[in-house]
Structure 1
Amino acid sequence: MTDDVGRTAEDLLGAYRNRQPIEPVADRFADAPLSLAYEIALAQVEDWVKHGDTIKGHKVGLASRAIQRQMGVSQPDFGHLTASMFHLENAPIPTGTFIQPRIEPEVAFVLGKPLRGPGVTIADAAAAVDFVLPSLEIVDSRIRDWAIGIFDTVADNASSGGVVLGSRPTRLTDVDLRLTGVNLHVNGELIATGAGGAVLGSPLNALVWLANTVGPLGVTLEPGHVVLPGSMTKAVPISPGDTIVADFAGIGSVTALLEGPR
């Protein structure tokens, strides 16, 4: 099984390098526990770090009912965010780095204190957050046609792709994340709306879930790290040349510019 984990991780790493999707990997691991999918993901993260990338945070995926219905799953998952995934707002993002990207608006947490589960409470999570930022996550799948189940997306580092952070920090005491609404525009057209309450009842609940899930694995959420708690809307397909804007009530806006076709 260890050999199968290594080969699958290599296949997914190859998909990153070649920008060519692969067939779903779950069929290789019939009846295997989800922990094995996380081993596959971690093997990729270790390879990225070995070659000079650095871990800058984590993401919670599949946190809203809209996303779960869209993906046909019933539980959240998590992935790692590395430095190479972060892109500056209003700077063209190379589209050649993605295979089949989609966009998700999220309220990003920036931690001021460490968080490590189990046993993390809402109070612990709120006390650990330094500030929040408006953000757009570019999700991508190395699995052909997004034909994923929970095992596939976990093995694929929770379908991570890229992150664009806005530049206006907001303190938690200045906003009620449950009631925060978002309007998502692509090329000036309103594509989707949502609210923070769609993310496990509150994005803070997703932060608690993450800390208590990764803690037993020996992972601490570190000060300065970014945590993406999950999308407030369904994931929307995007294309080269698109301009995406997410406006968050009380938090501000963030803009992602995709480089045009060549």
Structure 2
Amino acid sequence: MTQIVEQATPARAFVEARRTGTALPHFPGVIPATLDQAYAVQDKALALARRRVAGWKVGRIAPPVDGQNRLAGPIFADQVADGEGVPAMPVIAGGFAAAEAEFLLRLAAAPDPAKTRYTIEEARALVDAVHVGIEVAGSPFPGINRHGPAVTIADFGNNNGLVVGPLADGWQEADLDAWPVTLTINGAEVGRATTATMLDGPFGAVRFLLEHMARRGIALDAGTWVSTGAVTGVHPVGPGDRVAADFDGRWTVECSIGAS
């Protein structure tokens, strides 16, 4: 009974805070002691939120915790924006907000829910599109990144939106690790990197998610987006900022940051 109460308290608080756009100055309840406990909170919050999930963000855990070097959180359909133009992405005033340049991979088909191990090649075969994009990270809790990955997981993986940019033509034959990525905020460059530094890259992130969701018993549908990790880092933003990410000098995606 105690464990159920400990899961429900932060889950309800995060769902309500996100619904009302209200900041939470402290973690609401008992901080999960393990990643499994954190995912139990996330599962409870998903059940309470009753919002359609359009994709999943994957983030890195460094150093690894509980034997895991990545984490996952849902991306809700009503927070996915087409990158055509400069969409306004709201964040919670007084909470945490950041922008991340990411490769967005789309699943062509629903994976076998009973399959719990994948090779990179098998994961890649399930992808039918690679787009460039921006993940808007965000939480009502401003200290979410200062308390370890369990806190991040508990609040939907610290995701607050996704901007889907252009299709990266030629991705099937390309080495994504060789494409330079830059991110600018209000015209100033704040990050530059490639995915070569990101464990086993974007397709490795898809492999992780396929295995992770099978273990959790959560089905993935055809068309699910996988936001594969921050290429240039996690860059704080606030209302009024304008963000642009450039991929290989060929594709650009932009958004503005507003208040919820």
Distance in 2 between the 1:248 and 1:148 partners? Answer: 31
CA distance in 1, matches of 2:136, 2:22: 15
1:178-193 matches, within 5 Å, as 178-193=177-192
Q: Distance in 1 between matches of 2:203 and 2:167?
A: 19
Alignment correspondent of 1:28: 30
Whether 1:110 aligns to 2:106 is: yes
Deviation at 1:241, TM superposition (A): 1.7
Aligned-partner SS, 2:5: helix
The residue type equivalent to 1:77 in the other structure is L
CA contact (8 A) 1:197 1:203 kept: no
Supply the distance in 2 between the matched residues of 1:200 and 1:156 (Cα, whole angstroms).
24
Alpha carbons of 1:13 and 1:22: their partners in 2 closer, same or farther (altered >3 Å)?
A: farther
1:224 match = 223
Larger CA deviation: 102-111 vs 199-208: 199-208
In the TM superposition, residue 59 of structure 1 has moved relative to its aligned partner by 1.0
Structure 2 partner of 1:4: 6
- SS of residue paired to 1:240: coil
Structure 1: how far apart are the matches of 2:256 and 2:177?
28
State the match for 1:37 in structure 2: 38
2:58 to 52, 57, 60: 60
The alignment status of 1:82 with 2:82, answered yes or no, reads no
Query: Normalising by the residue count of structure 1, what TM-score does the alignment of the two structures yield?
Result: 0.86
Distance in 1 (CA, whole Å) between partners of 2:90 and 2:147 is 22
Distance in 1 of aligned mates of 2:249 and 2:122: 23
The CA distance in 1 between the partners of 2:7 and 2:212, in whole Å, is 21
- Amino acid of the structure 1 residue aligned with 2:74: H
Find the aligned partners of 2:173 and 2:22 in 1 and give their Cα distance. Answer: 42
Distance 1:145 1:256 in 2: 24
Partner-residue secondary structure (3-state), 2:121: helix
Whole-Å separation in 2 of the counterparts to 1:175 and 1:243: 29
1:239 is matched with: 238
Q: Supply the distance in 1 between the matched residues of 2:184 and 2:198 (Cα, whole angstroms).
A: 20
Deviation sequence 1:166-215 (CA, Å, 0-9, x none): 03353532421121210111111111101011221311111111111111
Query: Percent identity over the alignment?
Result: 23
SS of the residue corresponding to residue 233 of structure 1 reads: coil
Counterpart for residue 132 of structure 1 = 130
Matched residue, 1:19 = 22
Query: Where does structure 2 lack aligned partners over 5 or more consecutive residues?
Result: none
Q: 101-110 or 200-209, which moves further after superposition?
A: 200-209
- Is 1:46 the counterpart of 2:47 in the alignment? yes
Question: What secondary structure is seen at the aligned counterpart in 2 of 1:247?
Answer: strand
Q: Is the 8 A contact 1:132 1:169 kept in 2?
A: yes
- In 1, the alpha carbon distance for the partners of 2:177 and 2:206 equals 13
The answer (yes or no) to whether the contact 1:57–1:225 under 8 Å persists in 2 is yes
Residue aligned with 1:95, SS: strand
Distance (whole Å) between structure 2 residues aligned to residue 4 and residue 180 of structure 1: 44
What is the CA–CA distance in structure 1 between the aligned matches of 2:147 and 2:138, rounded to whole Å? 11
TM-superposed CA distance for 1:95, in Å, is 3.0
Residue 176 of structure 1: aligned partner? 175
Distance 1:96 1:154 in 2: 18
CA RMSD of aligned residues (A): 2.4
Instruction: Name the structure with the higher strand share.
Output: 2
Q: 1:174 to 1:245 in 2, by over 3 A?
A: farther
Separation in 2 of the partners of 1:2 and 1:100?
27
Q: Is contact 1:178-1:201 (8 Å) kept?
A: no
> Which of 3-12 and 130-139 deviates more?
3-12
1:158-173 maps to which residues of 2 (within 5 A)?
A: 158-173=157-172
**Structure with more helix by fraction:** 1
